[in-house]
Amino acid sequence: MERIAHTGPLWRWTSSTATGTWHFLTVDGAAGEALSGTALMRRMEKTLRGFGSMKVMAQIGDSTFATSVFPSKDQGWMLPVKAAVRKAEGLGEGDVVEVVLKF
């Protein structure tokens, strides 16, 4: 199992067709490249999930949660950060977040 750390700002995406909003952390740079390398291997093994997503365990502060990362059209990968995690860690849009991913 690989383990990478990444730090970046939390950002919010709002749907143009629905009432929902989601918060993400973009995982790019060396961490994004590590995810892309693993995704390439899993694609060859035919173990990637829908949208090219990959299952990960994420840790932000004291919160650990299972989720998936999704390849971004622009750069890197998008890590969704659940409301429960944001609340537990006192995080909001624009806050700089450090995450450790295991995959």
pLDDT digit string (tens) for 44-92? Answer: 666 656 678 899 999 999 999 999 999 998 889 999 999 999 999 999 9
Residue 39 domain boundaries: 3-102
Q: Which amino acid is at 32?
A: G
Residue pair 9/91 in contact (Cβ under 8 Å)? The answer is no
- We report the CATH number of the domain holding residue 92 as 2.40.30.100
In degrees, rounded to 5, the angle at the alpha carbon of residue 74 between the alpha carbons of residues 43 and 23 is: 90
Largest CA distance in the chain: 39
Give the Cβ contact number of residue 69 at 10 Å: 24
Give the Cβ contact number of residue 81 at 10 Å: 24
Domain count, the chain: 1
Token pair 């949660």: residue: 65
Mean pLDDT, residues 12-30 taken together = 90
How does residue 43 score in pLDDT terms, banded at 50, 70 and 90?
confident
Average pLDDT over the chain, rounded to whole? 91
Distance, CA of 12 to CA of 79 (rounded, Å): 11
